[in-house]
A and B are shown apart, each in its own frame.
Chain A
Amino acid sequence: MSQGGGRSAAAVTTGTMEIVVALLFFGVGALVAWDSWRLGASWGMDGPEAGYFPMRIGLLICVSAAVVLAQGYRHRHAGRETFVERGQLRDVLSILVPAVVYVLGIQLIGIYVASAIYVAMFMALLGGYRWLRSIAVGAAVGLSAFVLFEFWFGIPLPKGFVERALGF
């Protein structure tokens, strides 16, 4: 897989990523501070109000994010290193995207069926296993999870139309 991309060019540089993450931190900090200010953030009659600590926490996030940003700007020449290469990024996405689809699948068709399909597809498409073997492992995972949680532990996990059709 990773050989496919070879030593390819950087998809993102570290400097860019630093700035993006620092900006995200700043945004979260500002959001936290704003909502806490709305709640009341002073030191009341009997100690701090609900927003007292969160507001200061939010502001601290903003301050440290700003410093990281400034440092990133000062060392912007050093920031040209590669954060992730194109080939690597493709590898990472090749596991991340199916995982996101899998989580979506949990919501739509229930966790057991989604898990079986996910494991089977992953093995066959990314691992290069034969379909028969992949499907067997996938089905085993889904089924054993079903027995474990549905019968032994009695924990209701998300189910879909398949389980419902079978009367669970």
Chain B
Amino acid sequence: MDELQSLWQGFAVALTAQNVLLMFLGITLGVLIGVLPGLGGANGIAILLPLTFTMSPTSAIIMLSCIYWGALFGGAITSILFNIPGEPWSVATTFDGHPMAQQGRAGEALTAAFTGSFVGALVAVVMITFLAPLVAEFALKFGPPEYFAVYLLAFCSFVGMGKGSPWKTIAAMMLGFAMAAVGMDTVTGQLRLTFGSTELMRGFDFLVAVIGLFGIGEILLTMEEGLEFKGRSARINARVVLETWAQLPKFWATSLRACLIGCWMGVTPGGATPASFMSYGVAKNISKNGHNFGKGEMEGVVAPETAAHAAGTSALLPMLALGIPGSPTAAVLLGGLLIWGLQPGPLLFVEQKEFVWGLIASMYLGNIVGLIVVLTTVPLFAAILRVPFSIIAPIIIVVCAIGAFTVHNAMLDVWLMMLFGVAGYVFKKLDYPMAPMVLALVLGDRAEDSFRQAMLMSQGSLSILWSNWLVGSITAGALLLLFWPLITALRARRAGGA
């Protein structure tokens, strides 16, 4: 096979001593960036881009993509340990990862998260290796109506998960949508909900909200319950990795679904964040342990992490094959290509064979290196939980403040973070669900944009959402997922009646 031979040559390119060293360096830097909330992904790569200007293009992209893997891995760490999602795509990881840490199972949660990430990335890389042109062709079929259908699907797969008052769920979700609308409207260029303030023009950033709601809110709750983290007696020895691995194979079905969801969302530019939410929602609906999700179920860590990595990795495919960025991070990498004198696009695979296959080979190697690096740090990170609360709490708040600031270099965001912290504390105590709110915040404006773009295309007719088999089947799937709880309830009743 052609691909295998090219890949083999790619390994030869990637496996020089210097490049392997760069991989380790990149992964370590990436983990560091991923751990610091607010810095990861696009921001982090953009900041570290200048480091690579003097390298050869192949070495540079190897280092940068390793930073990317590192950031993907690193996002899970703070989510599990402190309930602070280091990256948007690790919000769903907090739902079960943090309860696990509180039960003293931080090591297991970290191992499960890292291994899940690795599997997701590996599957996506295999897809890139063998199916790149085919998949790229498919990605082009996505216009505004299809985008909207994908967002709708992500949303519907997650709705109906809330317990508690449906009115509170609606209120929280709508608040998320309202916050997403603040700032400039893409379609008309009007300023919405800014009330004449320049500070509000940049809108509410998802990361600032989650750092506050989850991170600061959690510290306030911990404080209320007395001065310590509940999971202090974290078991930390290297055996935890092997023991966790022994449990993982039974989640094969969830992993497979997560990989599929992730690859799909990465190629259609839904991205890693919706992928992780969707995977979590689907796993909760389908898995037989679903009712336990949210209480520290390992499957609830594997599902979002695997999907996030599969999506994050396959988002690089459209960039390589078509020269279109599948994510903001890919957009920055794309800028990097230009700086090194390469032209991204459909001809990259033909004209820069060595570079492309070197990069693909480095995706395999980078993820293996990444897994080794992060797994060796599991005991180290789990040990952080042993640091007394009165030392770690102020440091967490400092890190959160820095993170909130770096998202947009804005002081207002730090204040907002504190406000969201108080809101997170109150919401948690009054059972306002936060997950639908953050999902609405992250998807709201994108969904609205694509809906209105679609409406412009169809001149106001909703029928465009059923205008071809692709958009039609995604829309139908979304509606099916939306009414899934109702359907299962009906079926249960019929079975009960019979």
Residues of A whose CB lies within 8 Å of any CB of B are: 1-2, 14, 17-18, 21, 25, 28-29, 32, 35-36, 39, 43-51, 53-54, 57-58, 60-61, 64-65, 67-68, 71, 83-84, 88, 91-92, 94-96, 99-100, 102-103, 106-107, 111, 115, 118-119, 122-123, 126-129, 137, 141, 145, 149, 153-158
Contacts and interface: CB of A to CB of B under 8 A. Distances in A.
Contact of B167 (A67, A96, A119): A67
A115 B401 CA distance: 9
4 closest A-B pairs by beta carbon, nearest first, are A127-B390, A47-B455, A122-B394, A64-B171
Given A83-B430, A84-B429, 15 more contacts: A1-B226, A29-B174, A43-B460, A44-B460, A47-B456, A57-B181, A58-B178, A60-B170, A60-B171, A68-B165, A68-B171, A84-B224, A91-B223, A106-B411, A157-B406
B452 A35 contact: no
Interface string B311-330: 00000000000000000000
A22 to B, nearest CB: 8
B393 A95 contact: yes
Given A64-B167, A100-B418, A50 B190 contact: yes
Nearest to A154: B47
Contacts, number: 175
Nearest to A119: B394
B188 A123 contact: no
Interface string B417-433: 01001100110011010
Nearest to A118: B394
DSSP majority for the B interface? Answer: helix
A61 B192 contact: no
Interface of B: 39, 47-48, 50, 165, 167-168, 170-171, 174-175, 177-178, 181, 185, 187-188, 190, 192-193, 195, 216, 219-220, 223-227, 388-391, 393-395, 397-398, 401-402, 405-406, 409, 411, 414-415, 418, 421-422, 425-426, 429-430, 432, 448, 451-452, 454-456, 459-460
A129 B394 CA distance: 14
Nearest to A142: B398
A43 B322 CA distance: 36
Nearest to A128: B390
Contacts of A119: 391, 394-395, 398
Contacts of B394: 118-119, 122-123
A146 to B, nearest CB: 11
A25 B192 contact: no
A95 B415 CA distance: 15
29 contacts: A2-B225, A14-B430, A28-B175, A32-B181, A46-B459, A48-B452, A48-B455, A49-B188, A53-B448, A54-B192, A54-B193, A57-B177, A58-B178, A61-B174, A64-B170, A95-B393, A99-B216, A102-B401, A103-B415, A103-B418, A106-B411, A115-B398, A118-B398, A122-B394, A123-B390, A127-B390, A153-B39, A154-B47, A158-B405
